[in-house]
Amino acid sequence: MEFTYEDLTADEYHHRVAVYQPLTAALRELLDAVIRTEVDDATVHSATETISEVTAALRAQQIPGAYGVRHTAEGRGMAWGNAVIGLRNAIAPPLTVVRGSVTDPVVAHADVELGAAYEGPPGHVHGGVVSLLFDQVLGEAASMTGLPSYTGTLTIRYLRPTPLGPLRIEAFTPERDGRKTLARAAMLVDGAVTAEAEGLFISPRGMTPLHPFAGESR
């Protein structure tokens, strides 16, 4: 599992953000519109054709596989295909994880608004999506020292259904022991906890430390 170095100037990085962020935002709108539309069949057929044309245009030049986890010389993370935070991934809500310091009581948090695309129980967030969001925030909190850490175990306690709409995740790292970090998190809606998570995150043997994380993920 190798990270990819992208030789980009800050200007080139910002240019790419400016190009791709609106594309992904437009696709997220499309996902929501497809779920909620009530237009007639002819309009749906015509939309299907238009979407196929757009897909063909974008496929004219493609990389062979997944995007990878890239970073620039300045230490900017470009996990743009990531399922939770990916700037170029419309499946990602996207979540922006705000990282503080490893000594803060809440080491990382994220505010996000989940719409119709994340539904499980009627009007509520899918349990797998709850787990997905926790996995990312806990993983980033555990990796904040600069040593990337991956999920060894993850336990979720679903206390009550989480309604679709705005929610917050707060993560803590109560114990660090060499390559192992115990991480905990809470999901909050209007200040009330709907789910709790605990996981052991492990940095694989021989992993090279990256630039210590601070600020926001992307």
176 part of the interface to ligand 3VV, by CB under 6 A: no
User: Does the protein bind ligand 3VV through residue 151 (CB under 6 A)?
Assistant: yes
**Which residues is 215 bridged to in the sheet?**
99
Cβ closest to ligand 3VV, residue 138 vs residue 188: 138
Tell me the window of 22-30, 143-151, 161-169, 190-198 that interacts with ligand 3VV (CB under 6 A). Answer: 143-151
By beta-carbon proximity to ligand 3VV, the closer residue of 108 and 164 is 108
SS (H, E, C) 97-123: EEECCCCCCCCEEEEEEECHHHECCCC
DSSP per residue over 29-81, as a string? HHHHHHHH----HHHHHHHHHHHHHHHHHHHTS--SS----EEETT--EE-TT
139 in contact with ligand 3VV (CB under 6 A): yes
Report the 10 Å Cβ neighbour count for 135.
20
What's the min distance (Å) between Cβ of 191 and ligand 3VV? 26
| Pairing outcome for strands 70-72 and 4-6 | parallel
- In whole angstroms, the minimum distance from the beta carbon of 149 to ligand 3VV comes to 6
Contacting residue, 16, 71, 126, 176, with ligand 3VV by CB under 6 A: 71
CA torsion through residues 207, 209, 212, 213, sign: negative
Residues that bind ligand 3VV (CB under 6 A): 3, 69, 71, 75, 77, 79, 135-136, 139-140, 143, 148, 150-153, 179-180, 200, 202, 204-205, 210-211
